[in-house]
Amino acid sequence: MSALRILVPVKRVIDYAIKPRINKAQTGVETTGVKHSMNPFDELSVEEAVRLRQRGEDKSSPVKVENILALSAGGPKTPDVLRTAMAMGADRAFHIDVPEGADGGPEPLTIAKMLRGVVEKENINLVLLGKQAIDGDQGQTGQMLAGLLGWPQATQASKVDIKDEAGTVEVTHEVDGGVETLRAKLPMIITTDLRLNEPRYASLPNIMKAKKKPLEKKTLADFGVEDTRRLKTLKVTEPPARKGGGKVEDVDGLVSKLKELGAL
Amino acid sequence: LRQPASSSLARLLSTLAVLEQREGKLQNSSLSAIAAAQKLGGPVTAFLAGSGVKGTSAAEAAKIKGLEKVVAVENDAYEKGLPENYAPLLVENIKKGEYTHIVAGHSAFGKSLLPRVAALLDVSQVSDITGIESEDTFVRPIYAGNAILTVQSTDNIKVITVRGTAFQGTETEGGSAEIVDGVDSSAVAQTEWVSEELAKSERPDLATASRVVSGGRGLKSKEEFDRVMLPLADSLGAAIGASRAAVDSGFADNSLQVGQTGKNVAPQLYLCAGISGAIQHLAGMKDSKVIAAINKDPEAPIFQVADVGLVGDLFEKVPELTEKVKSA
- Residue ranges making up the domain that contains A58: 3-260
* Pairing verdict, β B239-242 and B290-295: unpaired
Q: CA-nearest residue of chain B to A130?
A: B261
| Residue B120 Cα, gap to closest chain A Cα (Å) | 6
Task: Find the mean pLDDT for residues B235-240.
Answer: 96
The b-or-e profile of A237-249 (16+ CB within 10 A means b, else e) is: eebeeeebbebbe
**Best mutation site among B94, B102, B191 for testing chain A: the one with the most A CBs within 10 Å?**
B191
* Distance, CA of B47 to CA of B18 (rounded, Å): 5
Q: Can you give the pLDDT at residue B7?
A: 47
CA distance A201 to A208: 14
Query: Do the Cβ atoms of B148 and A112 come within 8 Å?
Result: no
pLDDT for residue B11: 58
Could you tell me if A135 lies within 8 Å of chain B, comparing CB atoms? yes
Q: Flag if A137 and B294 touch (Cβ within 8 Å).
A: no
Cα angle A104, A106, A108; round to 5: 95
Rg of chain A, C-alpha, whole Å: 21
Q: Which residues in chain A are closer than 8 Å to B111, comparing Cβ atoms?
A: 139, 143, 155-156
Q: How far apart are CA B55 and CA A94, in angstroms?
A: 53
| Coil, helix or strand at residue B267 | coil
Statement: residue A17 has pLDDT above 70: yes
Among B194, B279, B321, the residue with its CB nearest the CB of A19 is B279
My answer on whether omega of the bond before A152 falls inside 30° of 0, hence cis, is no
pLDDT of B4 strictly over 60: no
pLDDT band at B9 (very low <50, low <70, confident <90, very high): low
pLDDT tens readout for residues B72-118: 999 999 999 999 999 999 999 999 999 999 999 999 999 999 999 99
When CB atoms are compared, the residue of A148, A152, A247 closest to B84 is: A152
What is the tens place of the pLDDT at every residue in A158-170? 999 999 999 999 9
B137 to chain A: which residues are within 8 Å by CB?
Answer: 234
Chain A, 183 to 242: residues with Cβ < 8 Å from chain B are 183-185, 193-195, 230-239, 242
pLDDT tens, position by position, A101-144: 767 789 999 999 999 999 999 999 999 999 999 999 999 999 99
Question: Which one is predicted more confidently, B258 or A245?
Answer: B258
Mean pLDDT of chain A: 95
- Among B148, B193, B308, the residue with its CB nearest the CB of A239 is B148
Phi and psi of A48, rounded to 5°? -65, -40
What pLDDT, on the 0 to 100 scale, is given for residue B10? 53
pLDDT at A245: 86
Nearest-angstrom CA–CA distance, B77 and A171: 19
Per-residue b or e along A60-91, where b marks 16 or more CB atoms closer than 10 Å to that residue's CB: ebebebebbbbbbbbeeebbebbbbbbbbbbb
Chain A: closest CA distance from residue B275 (Å): 15
Contacts of B126 in chain A (CB under 8 A): 231
- Mean pLDDT, residues B151-155: 98
How confident is residue B325, by pLDDT bands cut at 50, 70 and 90?
Answer: very high
User: Strand B15-18 and strand B101-105: pairing?
Assistant: parallel
Q: Is the pLDDT of residue B257 over 70?
A: yes
Confidence of residue A151 (pLDDT cuts 50, 70, 90): very high
Q: What is the pLDDT of residue B107?
A: 96
Look at residue B20 in the predicted model and tell me its pLDDT.
98
pLDDT the model gives residue B202: 87
User: How many domains are there within chain A?
Assistant: 1
> For B198, which of A20, A177, A238 is closest by C-beta distance?
A177
**How close A78 gets to chain B, by Cα (Å)?**
19
Mean pLDDT (whole number) for B126-136: 97
The span from the CA of A89 to the CA of A94, in Å, is 15
Phi, psi of B75 (to 5 degrees): -165, 125
Single-letter amino acid, residue B315: F
**Nearest-by-Cβ selection for B83 from A22, A143, A178:** A143
Which chain A residues are Cβ-neighbours of B149 within 8 angstroms?
A: 233, 235-236
Percent residues over pLDDT 70 in chain B: 97
Q: In which band, very low, low, confident or very high, does the pLDDT at B201 lie, cut at 50, 70 and 90?
A: confident
Distance CA A181, CA A169 (A): 10
Decide: A96 and A76 in contact? Cβ < 8 Å: no
| A124 in Cβ contact with A69 (< 8 Å) | yes
Model confidence at B5: pLDDT above 50 = no
What confidence tier does B187 reach under pLDDT thresholds 50, 70, 90? confident
More confident residue, B208 or B179: B179
In the predicted structure, residue B8 carries a pLDDT above the cut 80 = no
Contact call for A234 and B248, based on CB within 8 A: no
Look at residue A235 and tell me whether its pLDDT is greater than 60: yes
**Residue A231 is nearest to which of B124, B255, B307, comparing CB atoms?**
B124
* Residue A17: HSE in the Cβ half-sphere, 13 Å Cα cutoff: 2
Judge whether residue B179 has pLDDT over 90. Answer: yes
| Region B299-325 average pLDDT | 97
Other C-beta atoms lying within 10 Å of the C-beta of residue B96: 11
B270-283 residue pLDDT tens: 999 999 999 999 99
Least confident of A214-218, B205-209, B212-216: B205-209
| 3-state SS class at B282 | helix
Residue A206: which H helix or E strand, with range?
A: helix A204-210
**CATH number of the domain enclosing A227:** 3.40.50.620
Given a cut of 90, is residue A243 above it in pLDDT? no
Q: Does A117 touch chain B (CB under 8 A)?
A: no
Residue A23 has pLDDT above 60, yes or no: yes
So what's the pLDDT on residue B200?
A: 82
Q: For residue B260, which of A104, A102, A136, A45 has the smallest C-alpha distance?
A: A136
Query: What size, in residues, is chain B?
Result: 328
Q: Is A31 in CB contact (< 8 Å) with chain B?
A: no
Task: Find the range with the poorest average confidence among A69-78, A96-105, B157-166.
Answer: A96-105
Spatial strand order in the sheet of B211-215 = A247-248, B308-311, B290-295, B269-273, B211-215, B239-242
Residue A104: list chain B partners with CB under 8 A.
142
d(CA B298, CA A138): 35
- The answer to whether B195 contacts A181, with C-beta atoms less than 8 Å apart, is yes
Q: What is the ipTM of this complex?
A: 0.96
pLDDT at res. B101: 98
